[in-house]
């Protein structure tokens, strides 16, 4: 039955390329590694005390990132269904269907936001190609970013281009093309980042930035830092919105979920740390402010790239890789929307029709976000934020943690834990500890940690 439903989903979604174990790992790593690591992580670390943020972030990754990623993969593999229907499929009743809706809604809210920022990469890929930032100093680079992102038409075009590219990829199916491409591009991203690390470490005064990022100042750990780091952990690992459930559904039955989660987490964390090691020494060497905010990476990277050998081609190449890293994440986000539409229509809509509907809806969301930032609705503020900013804060600090909390309660307390498909199980002696640890973490540690962080963020409870 399980295998059948998986086959069905595979067939429906035309994902021929993800049959291999490596394919699943690459797809999951591709979803995890993206703008969250290279753009969001450094600017959040910069605003939240550098090393202190890194430390809290790493603790969050171990405490909830790992168990939640494993849970999502296991739920998906057992259900053979996407996020939207997996909870019903596993529990056999409708009580948990709201979680399917909630996850789908979360994906929807974050997708538009993600495409807007991917649009900034498209813009910078163009800027790098025409070499527009060559020779610019610190203040000019800052002004350049503001001018670019306040150009409504440009931002609309740049935001919609990646939607159309993602839609085209999903239209033809996430076939072996992406798998083969990722096998080449992911290692290239690592190589490129390593070269940039070397270049940055040779800059005069790089030690200050390194210390800022790697040496934690414990007095900087505040409730806001913990909340932001936890949110970033969900965002960066793509957990807490059931996305990995959909990927788990495509996973071969004999694939080790623990190992897969571990590799994905390791790669994702490595890219985030590398990004920090590139950004912070440069921030201090070039006189930027580490707490600059969302523009940080877009102003610092061009400054670094100008100092690389073969500056022009290095810039083009780097922004291309960044764009592709973003694209493997947008593919995963849009894939969930497409499959949810298909499941919602009970098979009446086929993949192509669902892709068209998803494209139209996402383009509309991108337009709303862009207009809320720069255009006619920029005066419109909810809780003091533009819609664009609000979507990010809402998703990372509330929607993702809430679905992660519900998922851990669902598996930890409401599902039969003797089920070998839902809880990691190994016959190897040395791995026997994994199962009780997993169960304990999911039942107690994850829910308590998330509730404490919530209460803390709301000011009801002080850490
Ligand atoms: N994890 C992705 C990144 O770090 C973003 C993402 C979040 C993708 C949620 C899918 C789902 O860029």
Residue of the CA atom closest to atom 11 of ligand 1: 238
Q: Which residues line ligand 1 (CB under 6 A)?
A: 31-32, 34-37, 110, 235-236, 238, 241, 243, 329, 332-333
Q: What is the C-alpha R_g of the chain?
A: 21
- What's the half-sphere exposure (Cβ side, CA atoms, 13 Å) at 183? 11
* Residue among 27, 29, 35, 36 to mutate when testing ligand 1 (max atoms within 8 A of CB): 36
Give domain status of residue 462, yes or no: no
Give domain status of residue 209, yes or no: yes
Give domain status of residue 463, yes or no: no
Report DSSP state, residue 345: T
Q: Read off the pLDDT of residues 224-264 as tens digits, 9 standing for 90 and up.
A: 899 899 999 999 999 988 889 988 888 888 888 889 999 99
pTM of the complete model: 0.91
In the reported structure, the alpha carbon of residue 31 is separated from the centroid of ligand 1 by a whole-number distance in angstroms of 6
In the reported structure, the alpha carbon of residue 437 is separated from the centroid of ligand 1 by a whole-number distance in angstroms of 27
Q: Read off the pLDDT of residues 270-322 as tens digits, 9 standing for 90 and up.
A: 999 999 999 999 999 999 999 999 999 999 999 989 888 889 998 998 899 89
* Residue among 29, 32, 248 to mutate when testing ligand 1 (max atoms within 8 A of CB): 32
Q: Are 240 and 401 in contact (CB under 8 A)?
A: yes
- Measure Cα distances from 306 to 114, 204, 326, 381 in Å: 27, 15, 23, 37
Q: What is the DSSP string of 384-413?
A: TB-HHHHHHHHIIIIIHHHHHHHHHHIIII
Q: Are 106 and 395 in contact (CB under 8 A)?
A: yes
pLDDT band (50, 70, 90) for residue 14: very low
Q: Read off the pLDDT of residues 337-360 as tens digits, 9 standing for 90 and up.
A: 998 899 889 889 998 999 999 999
CATH of the domain at 217: 1.20.1740.10
CB atoms within 10 A of CB 427: 6
In the reported structure, the alpha carbon of residue 19 is separated from the centroid of ligand 1 by a whole-number distance in angstroms of 22
Give domain status of residue 163, yes or no: yes
Number of domains within the chain: 1
Give domain status of residue 270, yes or no: yes
Q: Which domain holds residue 86?
A: 3-457
Residue of the CA atom closest to atom 10 of ligand 1: 238
Q: Read off the pLDDT of residues 82-123 as tens digits, 9 standing for 90 and up.
A: 888 899 999 888 889 999 999 999 999 999 999 999 999 999
* 277 vs 425: CA distance, rounded Å: 37
Q: Read off the pLDDT of residues 365-398 as tens digits, 9 standing for 90 and up.
A: 999 999 998 877 777 787 778 888 889 989 988 9
Q: Read off the pLDDT of residues 411-435 as tens digits, 9 standing for 90 and up.
A: 999 988 777 778 776 666 667 788 8
């Amino acid at each position: 039955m399980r295998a059948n439903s998986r086959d069905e989903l595979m067939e429906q979604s035309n994902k021929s390329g993800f049959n291999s174990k490596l394919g699943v790992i690459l797809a999951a790593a591709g979803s995890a590694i993206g703008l969250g690591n290279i753009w969001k992580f450094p600017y959040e670390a910069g605003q939240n005390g550098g090393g202190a943020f890194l430390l809290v972030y790493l603790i969050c990754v171990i405490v909830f990132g790992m168990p939640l990623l494993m849970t999502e993969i296991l739920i998906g593999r057992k259900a053979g269904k996407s996020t939207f229907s997996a909870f019903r499929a596993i529990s056999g009743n409708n009580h948990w269907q709201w979680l399917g809706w909630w996850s789908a809604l979360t994906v929807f809210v974050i997708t538009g936001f993600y495409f807007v920022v991917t649009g900034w990469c498209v813009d910078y890929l163009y800027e790098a190609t025409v070499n527009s930032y060559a020779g610019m100093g610190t203040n000019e680079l800052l002004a350049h970013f503001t001018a670019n992102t306040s150009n409504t038409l440009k931002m609309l075009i740049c935001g919609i281009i990646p939607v159309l590219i993602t839609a085209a990829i999903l239209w033809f199916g996430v076939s072996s093309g992406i798998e083969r491409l990722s096998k080449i591009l992911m290692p290239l991203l690592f190589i490129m980042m390593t070269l940039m690390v070397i270049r940055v470490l040779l800059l005069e005064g790089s030690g200050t930035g390194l210390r800022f990022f790697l040496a934690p100042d414990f007095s900087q750990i505040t409730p806001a830092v913990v909340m932001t780091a936890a949110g970033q952990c969900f965002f960066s690992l793509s957990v807490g919105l059931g996305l990995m459930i959909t990927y788990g559904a495509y996973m071969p039955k004999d694939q080790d979920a623990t190992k897969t989660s571990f590799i994905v987490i390791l790669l994702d964390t490595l890219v985030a740390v590398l990004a920090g090691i590139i950004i912070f020494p440069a921030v201090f060497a070039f006189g930027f402010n580490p707490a600059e905010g969302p523009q940080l990476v877009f102003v610092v990277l061009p400054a670094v790239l100008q100092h690389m050998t073969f500056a022009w081609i290095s810039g083009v190449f780097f922004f291309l890789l960044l764009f592709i890293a973003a694209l493997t994440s947008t593919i995963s986000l849009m894939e969930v929307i497409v499959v949810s539409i298909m499941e919602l229509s009970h098979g009446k809509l086929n993949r192509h029709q669902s892709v068209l509907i998803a494209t139209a809806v996402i383009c509309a969301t991108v337009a709303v976000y862009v207009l809320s930032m720069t255009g006619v609705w920029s005066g419109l503020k909810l809780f003091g934020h533009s819609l664009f900013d609000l979507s990010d804060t809402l998703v990372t600090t509330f929607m993702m943690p809430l679905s992660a909390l519900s998922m851990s309660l669902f598996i930890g307390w409401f599902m039969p834990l003797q089920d070998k498909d839902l809880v990691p199980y190994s016959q190897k002696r040395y791995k026997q500890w994994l199962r009780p640890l997993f169960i304990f973490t999911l039942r107690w540690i994850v829910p308590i940690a998330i509730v404490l962080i919530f209460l803390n963020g709301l000011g009801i409870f002080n850490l």
